[in-house]
């Protein structure tokens, strides 16, 4: 196992890595990775909602050995913490997605590559043997969408993660003010003419210009079924916060859902994902996989998500902070830190296995009210 204890004694938590990353990133890059939509209410709530949950631990349980293993869509992982799809790893470090995917492979967990990566999906697939999933947007150009699916299958990706919460781009004010664009030498490597996409004067952001020109805002449930007809790969729908949408996803043939509000980067005022996770998990009721992302910074956050119905969690920003701070070694340290924090939390909560982590462990803080 990778040892998270440092040569860098100041880097002990995910927040430590964020501080180190901020010192190394340009303002434009840090603001792009860090910010949420509009006033950032949902961004704050994603983390605050975890603080309102208490762990009512059990005692006198044999926890001398803890088993963190999980099996997800047929892939066995040694701990239930996966790498979420995030765009533009090349902004964080020259090693980009290859460094991040190699770190995930080193620890045995699943790496999810974004369509908007700065390294091609083929190059990332070839760089390490670890399991990989591919995140997909449905484009107006369905031929491009079909080609991305075929490329992902050919390269050995094991699942597709369709993002369904981005018919248009939420307003990221920091990106507009900064006139966000990729620096010279970085491109959206999976898109043949990505270099031709530049910031639009009325949107002020490269990403906003890309989404406005490429994404299909008319996407519906019929398109989920269409996508299922293109591929043998299991499909997960990412961006689900409602039980009825989760049920419809399974009914349309999805292998599961990711309870996600896009890192609070789309609709400000959307619920914190940990708040809606139990209802979504209850609706799915074992008929598909339920994953969750948003606001996870501690191993205790992972424990709470597992207790409330997730089979595993995905982390996005923490991986980027590790990458910016120390390259691939930083990504490995962040993942190993969260893994060890989860193992410690399981021991202290009286949970020797993932199966023993149940909803009875969790209570809302007495008298707590949602933060303003």
Query: Annotated binding site for FMN, which residues?
Result: 85-87, 114, 135, 163, 238, 293-297, 316-317
User: Each residue of 216-229: b (16+ CB within 10 Å) or e?
Assistant: eeebeeebbeebbe
On whether the CB atoms of residues 322 and 17 are closer than 8 A, the answer is: yes
- What are the structure tokens assigned to 284, written together? 């799915």
- What are the structure tokens assigned to 50, written together? 């975890």
What Cα–Cα distance (Å) separates residue 277 from each residue in 50, 237, 303, 315? Answer: 12, 14, 13, 16
Q: Could you give the CA distance from residue 232 to residue 220 in angstroms, rounded to a whole number?
A: 21
- Provide the 8-state DSSP code for 193: T
Altogether, the residues listed in the chain come to a count of 372
Measured distance between the N- and C-terminal CA atoms of the chain, rounded to whole angstroms: 41
Q: Could you give the CA distance from residue 12 to residue 247 in angstroms, rounded to a whole number?
A: 40
- What are the structure tokens assigned to 12, written together? 């002990």
At 237, give phi and psi (nearest 5°). Answer: -100, 120
Query: 317-326 and 14-24 helices cross at what angle (nearest 10)?
Result: 60
Pairing of strands 70-72, 75-77: antiparallel
Binding positions? 32, 85-87, 114, 135, 137, 163, 172, 238, 260, 262, 265, 293-297, 316-317
At 257, give phi and psi (nearest 5°). Answer: -135, 155
Binding positions for glyoxylate? 32, 137, 172, 260, 262, 265
Count how many Cα atoms sit within 13 Å of the Cα of residue 206 in the half-sphere of its side chain: 20
- Is the dihedral angle over the CA atoms 324, 26, 117, 123 positive or is it negative? negative
Q: Could you give the CA distance from residue 146 to residue 227 in angstroms, rounded to a whole number?
A: 8
Q: Could you give the CA distance from residue 326 to residue 20 in angstroms, rounded to a whole number?
A: 9
- List the catalytic residue out of 89, 139, 215, 262: 262
Count how many Cα atoms sit within 13 Å of the Cα of residue 165 in the half-sphere of its side chain: 24
- What are the structure tokens assigned to 371, written together? 């933060």
Determine whether 262 is an active site residue: yes
Residues involved in catalysis: 262
């Amino acid at each position: 196992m990778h040892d998270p204890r440092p040569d860098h004694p100041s880097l002990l938590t995910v927040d430590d890595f964020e501080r180190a990353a901020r010192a190394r990133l340009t303002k434009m890059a840090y603001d792009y990775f860090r910010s949420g939509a509009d006033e950032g209410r949902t961004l704050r709530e994603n983390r605050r909602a975890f603080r309102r949950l208490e762990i009512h631990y059990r005692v006198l349980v044999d926890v001398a050995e803890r088993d963190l293993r999980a099996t997800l869509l047929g892939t066995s992982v040694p701990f239930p913490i996966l790498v979420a799809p995030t765009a533009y790893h090349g902004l964080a470090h020259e090693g980009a997605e290859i460094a991040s995917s190699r770190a995930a492979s080193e620890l045995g967990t699943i790496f999810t590559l974004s369509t908007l990566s700065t390294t091609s999906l083929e190059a990332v697939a070839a760089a390490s043997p670890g399991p990989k999933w591919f995140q997909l947007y449905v484009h107006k150009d369905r031929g491009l969408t079909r080609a991305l699916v075929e490329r992902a299958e050919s390269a050995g990706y094991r699942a597709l993660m369709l993002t369904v919460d981005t018919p248009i781009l939420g307003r990221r004010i920091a990106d507009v003010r900064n006139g966000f664009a990729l620096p010279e030498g970085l491109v959206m490597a999976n898109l043949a003419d990505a270099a031709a996409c530049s910031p639009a004067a009325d949107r002020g952001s490269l990403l906003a210009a890309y989404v406005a020109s490429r994404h299909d805002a008319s996407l519906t449930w019929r398109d989920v079924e269409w996508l299922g007809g293109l591929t043998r790969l299991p499909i997960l729908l990412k961006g689900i916060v409602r039980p009825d949408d989760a049920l419809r996803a399974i009914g349309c043939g999805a292998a599961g859902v990711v309870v996600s509000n896009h890192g609070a980067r789309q609709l400000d005022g959307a619920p914190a994902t940990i708040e809606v996770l139990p209802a979504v998990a209850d609706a799915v009721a074992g008929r598909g996989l339920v994953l969750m992302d948003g606001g996870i910074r501690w191993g205790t956050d992972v424990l709470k998500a597992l207790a409330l119905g997730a089979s595993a969690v995905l982390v996005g920003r923490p991986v980027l902070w590790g990458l910016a701070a120390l390259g691939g070694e930083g990504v490995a340290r962040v993942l190993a830190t969260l893994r060890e924090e989860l193992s410690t939390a399981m021991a202290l909560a009286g949970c020797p296995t993932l199966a023993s982590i149940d909803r009875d462990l969790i209570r809302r803080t007495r008298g707590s009210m949602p933060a303003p």
